[in-house]
């Protein structure tokens, strides 16, 4: 029963953004999210998101030999990320000044 402000949400956005910087696998994403959120999200969190993003045509599996599946953004994914980034900035426009204070 997260008190309030459990900071849930925007997972698809974060995933799109991370993959846009570097092709990544589900496990790599989990590790990166762990760094940011403080704990590693469960497999049941990340893989359904990757599946949905894939089915919606925003990311694409890179053919790889092993068991690890890496994903890259598609053109639609790039477009979607641009739109989502603008929305994010409009919603949180007044957070810009907070980063310096928080991440001293």
Site string for DNA, 34-63 (x = CB under 7 A): -----x-xxxxx-xxxxxx-----------
Please pick, from the candidates 27, 32, 74, 85, the single residue that binds DNA as defined by CB under 7 A: 27
State the binding partner of 19 from DNA, a second copy, none, CB within 5 to 8 A by kind.
none
C-beta of residue 79 within 8 angstroms of C-beta of residue 32:
no
Cβ of residue 44: shortest distance to a second copy, in angstroms?
18
Q: Under the criterion CB under 7 A, does residue 101 sit at the interface with DNA? A: no
Strands 24-25 and 70-73 come out as antiparallel
Cβ of residue 66: shortest distance to a second copy, in angstroms?
27
Q: Please report how the helices 75-91 and 11-21 are oriented relative to each other, as an axis angle in degrees rounded to 10.
A: 120
CA-nearest of 17, 28, 92 to 59 is 17
Query: Which helix (H) or strand (E) covers residue 71, if one does?
Result: strand 70-73
State the binding partner of 68 from a second copy, DNA, none, CB within 5 to 8 A by kind.
DNA
Strands 24-25 and 59-62 come out as unpaired
Q: Under the criterion CB under 7 A, does residue 100 sit at the interface with DNA? A: no
Cβ of residue 14: shortest distance to a second copy, in angstroms?
7
């Amino acid at each position: 029963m997260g008190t309030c402000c459990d900071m849930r949400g925007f997972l698809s956005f974060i995933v799109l953004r991370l993959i846009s910087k570097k092709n990544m696998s589900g496990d790599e994403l989990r590790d990166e999210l762990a760094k940011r959120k403080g704990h590693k999200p469960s497999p049941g969190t990340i893989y359904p998101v990757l599946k949905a993003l894939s089915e919606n045509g925003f990311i694409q599996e890179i053919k790889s030999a092993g068991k690890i599946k890496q994903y890259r953004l598609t053109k639609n994914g790039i477009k979607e990320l641009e739109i989502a980034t603008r929305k994010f900035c409009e919603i949180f426009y007044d957070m810009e000044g907070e980063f310096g204070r928080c991440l001293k």
